[in-house]
């Protein structure tokens, strides 16, 4: 039983502390009575193409780094995000800024491409009717079509992984065309749908008084309590992290290749000023903001989880001390080894010219 408690506690601590690179990561701070706010979406993906070494693809492709800013003049992305979220949300995106990066690394038997896109849309109309009801459906979206952006490299589709190869490794992209690799290289990068598909009642939430600190004024908070909502936490009791992965094998002119796309599960943190709880208007999920906390003990899973883990820790501690105490008593009160009754004293020296003292050693009796 003691070992079982220790194993569970170790698993909880390890799984809770592992850092992950998230496919889509959302960070948002929404102040009370705000007219607009600017969340940050980060999209990350790593694609690896493996080969046996000295392949034709290795000869065609070169290391490359692509970086550029996404400015407010790129209205196409604004209309595409609005087209997606207006089907489910009252919120509206007025402009988008951000950055794009793709790094191509050629190794001995592999080619890696790492993508990172950061989008910062300005969102308005996020309150519904009054400032006590906050729309939540803006939090996740996905775009399947091309997203053309004007850059220093010309018009660039930031939604297609193949764009990184099309810019400076055209021959390598042509070599891969028509193979299974293109299925991975054409899977859209802008996909945060999992954030809106994960129901709000399964998010972790906690009231936090740190909004009263002067540093939070940068977020427009007025000095009241804030509520933290988060998803994507990986633990034994909430569920372990599951990576999103695609894997395909293909052959070109007798050369064998494999391509793998990896991105971790979605992650999000939404900080809202006030005491907030999740609710619904019909089938639409919303955040309800109150002046005082609304706590339902029967449905407060956070409290159940916290008390449950605390109880588990206490039980493990008690078990540890009980076992240790029993071992200590056994060591101090029980005789182990040879019974002294079976021993007899023997002088240290009996050789000629030697001398004897009252000191001696012991041996078993015959």
Q: Transcribe 108-154 into DSSP letters.
A: SSEEEEEEEEEEEEEEE--B-SSTTEEE-GGG--B--S--EEEETTE
Write the pLDDT tens digit of every residue in 132-180. 999 999 999 999 999 999 999 999 999 999 999 999 899 999 999 999 9
Asked whether residue 315 carries a pLDDT value surpassing 50, the answer given is: yes
Asked if 24 contacts 244 with a C-beta cutoff of 8 angstroms, the reply is no
CA distances from 263 to 110, 140, 240, 281 (A): 18, 17, 15, 33
**Cα–Cα nearest to 276, from 204, 195, 198, 220:** 204
pLDDT tens by residue, 86-141 = 999 989 999 999 999 999 999 999 999 999 999 999 999 999 888 899 999 999 99
- The distance from CA 165 to its chain's CA centroid, rounded to whole angstroms, is 28
pLDDT value at residue 150: 93
Lowest mean pLDDT among 75-79, 179-183, 271-275, 325-329: 325-329
Tokens at 353, concatenated: 């010219």
Segment 223-280, tens digit of pLDDT: 678 899 999 766 555 555 567 889 999 999 999 999 999 988 889 999 999 899 999 9
Q: Using alpha carbons, list the distances in angstroms from residue 66 to 61, 101, 114.
A: 15, 5, 10
Residue 226 near residue 203 (C-beta atoms within 8 A): no
Query: Alpha-carbon distance 345 to 262, whole Å?
Result: 76
Where in the chain does DSSP place strands (E)? 24-30, 36-37, 40-51, 64-70, 92-106, 110-124, 133-135, 148-151, 154-157, 204-208, 226-231, 244-252, 255-263, 267-273, 275-281, 284-290, 343-347, 360-364
- C-alpha dist (Å) from residue 241 to 16, 23, 60: 10, 12, 36
Tens-place pLDDT, residues 5-54: 333 333 333 333 333 344 699 999 999 889 999 999 999 999 999 999 88
| Cα 106 to Cα 165: distance, rounded to the nearest angstrom | 13
| The pairing of beta strand 24-30 with beta strand 40-51 | antiparallel
Residue 279 zone, left/alpha/beta (φ > 0; ψ -120 to 50; rest) = beta
The bridge status of strand 226-231 relative to strand 154-157 is unpaired
Burial class of residue 192 in the structure, from the number of CB atoms within 10 Å of its CB (0-12 exposed, 13-18 middle, 19+ buried): buried
């Amino acid at each position: 039983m003691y070992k079982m408690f220790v194993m569970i506690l170790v698993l909880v601590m390890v799984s809770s502390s592992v850092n992950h690179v998230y496919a889509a990561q959302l960070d948002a701070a929404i102040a009370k009575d705000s007219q607009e706010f600017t969340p940050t979406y980060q999209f990350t993906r790593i694609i690896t193409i493996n080969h046996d070494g000295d392949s034709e693809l290795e000869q065609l492709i070169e290391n490359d780094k692509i970086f550029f800013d996404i400015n407010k003049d790129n209205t196409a992305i604004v209309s595409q995000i609005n087209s997606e979220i207006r089907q489910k949300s009252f919120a509206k995106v007025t402009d988008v800024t951000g950055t794009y990066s793709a790094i191509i690394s050629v190794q001995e038997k592999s080619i890696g491409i790492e993508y990172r896109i950061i989008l910062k849309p300005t969102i308005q109309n996020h309150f519904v009717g009054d400032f006590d009801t906050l729309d939540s459906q803006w939090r996740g979206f996905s775009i399947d079509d091309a997203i053309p952006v004007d850059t220093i490299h010309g018009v660039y589709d930031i939604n297609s992984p193949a764009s990184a190869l099309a810019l400076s490794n055209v021959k390598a992209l042509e070599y891969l065309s028509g193979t299974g690799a293109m299925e991975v290289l054409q899977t859209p990068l802008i996909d945060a749908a999992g954030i809106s598909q994960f129901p709000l009642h399964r998010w972790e939430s906690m009231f936090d008084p740190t909004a009263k600190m002067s540093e939070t004024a940068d977020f427009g908070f007025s000095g009241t309590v804030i509520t933290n909502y988060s998803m994507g936490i990986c633990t034994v009791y909430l569920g372990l992290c599951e990576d999103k992965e695609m894997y395909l094998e293909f052959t070109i002119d007798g050369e064998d290749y494999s391509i793998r796309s990896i991105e971790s599960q979605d992650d999000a943190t939404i900080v809202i000023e006030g005491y907030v709880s999740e609710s619904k208007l019909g089938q639409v999920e919303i955040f309800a903001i109150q002046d005082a906390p609304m706590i339902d003990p029967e449905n407060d899973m956070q409290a159940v989880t916290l008390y449950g883990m605390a109880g588990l820790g206490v039980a493990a501690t008690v078990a540890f001390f009980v076992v240790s105490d029993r071992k200590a008593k056994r060591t101090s009160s029980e005789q182990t080894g040879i019974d002294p009754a079976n021993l007899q004293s023997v002088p240290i020296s009996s050789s000629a010219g030697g001398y004897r003292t009252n000191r001696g050693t012991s041996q078993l009796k015959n």
